[in-house]
Amino acid sequence: MYLSRLGAIGIAVTFALAGCGGGGGSTVPALPVAPTPSANNGGTTQSFNPSTVKITEIAVPPQAPICSGGRCESGPLNPNVIDVSSDGSVYFGAKSPYGGVPASYGLIRYAGGSFTETMPFGSASDVEVGGVDAIDAHDQPTVIWSSAEWHLPSALPQGDNMECGGSGGTASDCPYGGAAPGVLGSYDYSIEVATDGRVWVGGSAQPGGNATASQAQLPNVPSVLYAFSIDFAKGPNAHIWGLLEGLASNHVPILFEFSASGAVLNSYPLPAGSQISGDHALIEGADGALWFADSGKNAIGRMTAGGQLHEYPIPTANSGVMNIALASDGGMWFTEAAANKVGRIDTTGHISEFNVPTPNAGVQAIAAPPSPSSCNPSQIWFTESNANKIASITY
């Protein structure tokens, strides 16, 4: 997880896709389905017809030129992280090449078929803001995102700031975590709102925390930069759970269950060989268990609140599974970066896979509308970073 993120820092701009649009798209033949798993997890198979799946790709307009000191920067936005709000707006972050131009980049919203930029707070002349690393648009009216900040001409970035704002307006700093001033290389890749309303923020080189309680109290936290990375998600027992990689000496990922104050209630190391490559690789399924994308095992894992683990192999070998999202019908969709596919797994472990139309698209993040929502409940969104596109799945 944290190794994959180090090379992904860049300048970001955001657009929003509104209206739950997606167009007609093209029907995508289902790839081979994984055999019925032997493990019985008590789930039921959701009604799903792979032959109805359509993927619609939408090209993202190039970034408008931003100039400073006689130098200008423009180019593709390379969408990275993504989320969907209850009104149907699709927010995504972008990672453009870092060009050394002092400028501010923001979030972008797509509503009714048009892209609209939402600028972040005004920066000082020596600050460049970019590299959107996480977005939460589905938990509350205010959109929250993390954005990297450089203090020029420093050779190293100072880390992420958390920014809050509505669609189309100017954003401002918000109090939900973020890198401490002067702490090099601390990035926020995970934003999760707990059932009690507290906003948890996690990422690299920091244990994470929330606005009203102490940080997650991880044992034996190393002080080395980029020593670990944690991804938060709501989970069983109405608690926040964290999927952490890099803390153990053998770098085996660990699932932690936290109390509201950040104390560790339970911890479950994953099997040797497990690896987390995505920034949003952990969710709570409709069956109340935790589901995660395990790139090391090329599988989707399931763990109960009591630590019972089962992993379901992905039919495509070396798929590069990264991120996972829960749809309103209970199915879970995931991205396969190396295989250029998206996949779906239900709570019984049945897996379907679908080719992405554009070759080598660089499928990354994936998100579903919250429930309830004005969006089509059978619609998922994902990013194609290499192709400079966002895409929707309807079924």
Give the residues across from 209 on adjacent strands.
201
Query: Residue 83's pLDDT is what?
Result: 94
Q: What letter represents residue 194's amino acid?
A: A
Give the whole-angstrom CA distance, residue 349 versus residue 365: 21
- For residue 142, what are the domain limits? 2-394
Here the CATH number for the domain that contains residue 327 is 2.130.10.10
Long-range contacts of 246-255 (CB under 8 A, 24+ apart): 246/1, 246/2, 247/218, 247/220, 247/221, 247/222, 253/1, 255/282, 255/290, 255/292, 255/303
Give the whole-angstrom CA distance, residue 240 versus residue 118: 30
* Alpha carbon 155 to chain centroid, angstroms: 27
Query: Residue 13's pLDDT is what?
Result: 26
Q: What letter represents residue 204's amino acid?
A: S
Query: Residue 276's pLDDT is what?
Result: 92
Structure tokens at 112: 């009714």
Find all residues with CB under 8 Å of 217, minimum gap 6, and list them.
207, 262, 263, 264
Query: Residue 152's pLDDT is what?
Result: 54
Structure tokens at 154: 């420093």
E-assigned strand segments in 224-349: 229-234, 240-245, 254-258, 264-269, 282-284, 290-294, 299-303, 309-313, 321-326, 332-336, 341-345
In angstroms, the Cα distances linking 143 to 132, 368, 394 are: 13, 16, 25
Residue by residue, DSSP assigns 156-202 as S--EEEEEEE-TTS--EE-SS--PPTT-TT-EEEEEEE-TTSPEEEE
Q: Look at residue 337 and give its three-state secondary structure.
A: coil
Query: Residue 268's pLDDT is what?
Result: 94
Torsion, Cα of 267, 311, 240, 207 (10° steps): 60
Q: How many residues does the chain have?
A: 395
Q: What's the domain count of the chain?
A: 1
Give the whole-angstrom CA distance, residue 365 versus residue 342: 10
Q: What is the pLDDT along the chain (395 residues), one digit of tens a residue?
A: 433 332 222 222 222 233 454 444 444 444 444 333 434 444 444 689 999 999 999 998 876 665 555 555 566 778 889 999 888 889 998 655 444 444 445 678 887 888 887 655 444 444 555 668 889 998 877 888 887 665 555 555 556 777 777 655 667 777 765 444 445 556 788 899 888 888 888 877 655 666 665 677 777 655 444 456 889 999 999 999 999 886 655 678 999 999 988 889 999 999 989 999 998 999 999 999 999 999 999 999 999 999 999 999 999 999 999 999 999 899 999 999 999 999 999 999 999 999 999 999 999 999 998 876 666 667 899 999 999 999 999 99
Query: Residue 150's pLDDT is what?
Result: 58
Q: Is the bond into 153 cis (omega within 30 degrees of 0)?
A: yes
Query: Residue 225's pLDDT is what?
Result: 46
Give the whole-angstrom CA distance, residue 287 versus residue 370: 17
DSSP state of 96: B
pTM comes to 0.84
Contact 194, 260 (CB under 8 A): yes
